[in-house]
Amino acid sequence: MGKPTGFMEFEREPAHTRPPLERIKDWQESHPPYDEATLKQQGARCMDCGIPYCHTGELVAGMAMGCPIHNVIPEWNDLVYRGQWREAIIRLHKTNNFPEFTGRVCPAPCEGSCTLGRTAEPVTIKTIEAEIIDRAFREGWVVPEPPLSRTGFKVAVVGSGPAGLSAAAQLNRAGHAVTVYERDDRVGGLLMYGIPNMKLDKGVVERRVKLLEAEGVSFVTSTAIGRDLAPEALVRDFDAVVLAVGSTVPRDLRVPGRELPGVHFAMDFLSANTRAVLGGPATSISAAGKNVIVVGGGDTGTDCVGTAIRQGAKTVTQLEILPRPPETRAKDNPWPQWPKVYKMDYGQEEAAALWGADPRRYLVNTRRFIGEGTDGSARVTAIETVDIEWVHVPGARPEMREVAGSEKTLPADLVLLAMGFVGPAPELPAAFGCKLDHRGNIVHDGDFMTTVPGVFSAGDCSRGQSLVVWAIHEGRQAARAVDKFLMYGETMLPDY
């Protein structure tokens, strides 16, 4: 540990962001860099505690505890404090293929499990991670590292999101010839079209993809397996297949009026906007001048709020069926679990700066969508809601009950459904003959192999909707399993 008293001497540096009313004018990332002296102080706050939970990556009562990819955080915090930046990126890359992604979009469960966070503000782990990799790219330390030899085995990876990319990177590192198939026109999956540019600049994604290409990974875009290429061809032409297609079926809201024009899934809205930002056709789903209702309070809902504001929405309201989180940890949410506490993300901050308040309304359920116009031209114009309460019955699931007399009608010219995802599109696993579980996710064993020999799965398509960092972890683990499968039980890939 570089400075034993650092956590007592230095306060946590507040996040460096451009003012909300400035950043909503463009689609650029909003996080200016930190100077080196400040970063050294932030690294010095790491306590080198006796049992650091920040990198454990476990689940406690279903809640994340620490970093799922087991970043050895105290080590690179210390290296930053000492000014040993090149050693820091070497340490960081040992566990994380893509710290430039996680350093931008991960909610940082590591910080939620920081020991210092029990009595003070946690270490700025996420910020330091992003600064390490950004500096490494600026200094030219991140260069292609193709394998020294090839095994002669070929592996197909279906899907180029974080799970698919990490699996491809690790399998290529092991010497296998890897081909990644992506149904969209650009590589990146969720990273490219699911996360807005102001949260993850697409140049950052493309930079890493070019590195992987230089290392020997092949990418085939605009190719949907089962439509443009038969699954049988992959099984025949490759020695193993990894399915990393994500959880892409959005949860729907089956209420009267759902069929009205103007009611859209959030991902359709976000991906169309990103295509336009990248120079594609103008988005077909615009919030400009409209009263926008976002149904769902998670990260995707926040991205919808930020995107709608940048498109010029008249108003934005975000509906959440759950209660408002407490200001501090509840008794049933102890450290080192992820803290379920109230906070405003970038989208809510921007809405508050524009209209004076957090746009979220809690404990609200949607009853129906209301439209006006003739049968052929009717569009959504309002949404009817009702307040609810959750009744907790011992031994049973919480029951949702409506609050009598709490009905409201809100103007709505555009409704975005951001209620999460329920699994992968079933056609692809069915085409391979893979078994699905009761939630619609692909079943695999402890070695990530599906019920079809030689076909593996990783990421959200198997574990369900989750974080980018969990997808990277599963991609790495699946790659290790594939390597053992091909190399007669042996592998040089790390077990983390």
Considering the domain architecture, whether residues 292 and 340 belong to the same structural domain is answered as yes
417, 440, 463 — which closes off a domain?
A: 417
Amino acid in position 177 = A
The answer to whether residue 268 sits within a structural domain is yes
pLDDT tens track for 311-336: 999 999 999 999 999 999 999 899 99
Instruction: Give the tokens for residue 347.
Output: 């989208």
Q: What is the DSSP code string of 164-216?
A: HHHHHHHHHHTT-EEEEE-SSSSTTTIIIIIS-TTTS-HHHHHHHHHHHHHTT
Same domain, 133 and 242: no
Both 225 and 110 in a single domain? Answer: no
Q: Quick: pLDDT tens for 441-472.
A: 999 999 999 999 999 999 999 999 999 999 99
> Which tokens sit at 474?
């599963």
Residue 329, phi then psi, degrees to nearest 5: -55, 135
- Rg of the chain in Å (alpha carbons): 23
Q: Is residue 1 part of a domain?
A: no
pLDDT tens digits along 240-283:
999 999 999 999 999 999 999 999 999 999 999 999 999 999 99
Q: Are residues 479 and 378 in the same domain?
A: no
Asked if residue 148 has pLDDT above 70, the reply is yes
Question: In this structure, is residue 146 part of a structural domain?
Answer: no
Mark which of 417, 445, 473 sits at the end of a domain: 417
Q: Quote the pTM value.
A: 0.95
Domain-located, residue 145? no
The reply to whether 347 falls in a domain is yes
Q: Are 286 and 413 in the same domain?
A: yes
Query: Are 165 and 240 members of one domain?
Result: yes
Query: Looking at the structure, do residues 407 and 437 belong to the same domain, yes or no?
Result: no
The sign of the dihedral angle between the CA atoms of 315, 316, 322, 326 is negative
Confidence of residue 413 (pLDDT cuts 50, 70, 90): very high
Let me know whether 32 and 116 are in one domain.
Answer: yes
d(CA 390, CA 217): 50
User: Is 256 within the bounds of a domain?
Assistant: no
User: Beta strands 414-417 and 263-265: pairing type?
Assistant: parallel
Q: What is the CATH number of the domain that holds 21?
A: 1.10.1060.10
What residues have CB less than 8 Å from 190, skipping those under 6 apart? 161, 162, 246, 468, 471
Which of 394, 417, 440 is at the close of a domain?
417
Q: Provide the number of structural domains found in the chain.
A: 3
Q: What is the DSSP letter of 398?
A: -
Give the length of the chain: 496
Task: Give per-residue pLDDT as tens, 6-42.
Answer: 999 999 999 899 999 999 999 999 888 899 999 999 9
Provide the domain limits for residue 183.
Answer: 154-248+422-486
Do 46 and 73 touch, CB atoms closer than 8 A? yes
Are 388 and 364 spatial neighbours (Cβ–Cβ below 8 Å)?
Answer: yes
Does the residue 257 lie in any domain?
Answer: no
Q: What is the pLDDT of residues 104-138, one digit of tens each?
A: 999 999 999 999 999 999 999 999 999 999 999 99
pLDDT > 70? residue 1: no
Verify that 270 and 406 share a domain, yes or no: yes
pLDDT digits (tens, 9 = 90+) for 469-491: 999 999 999 999 999 999 999 99
Residues 299, 209, single domain; the answer is no
Residues 6+ apart with CB under 8 A from 124: 12, 13, 42, 45, 111
Judge contact between 436 and 70, C-beta under 8 A: no
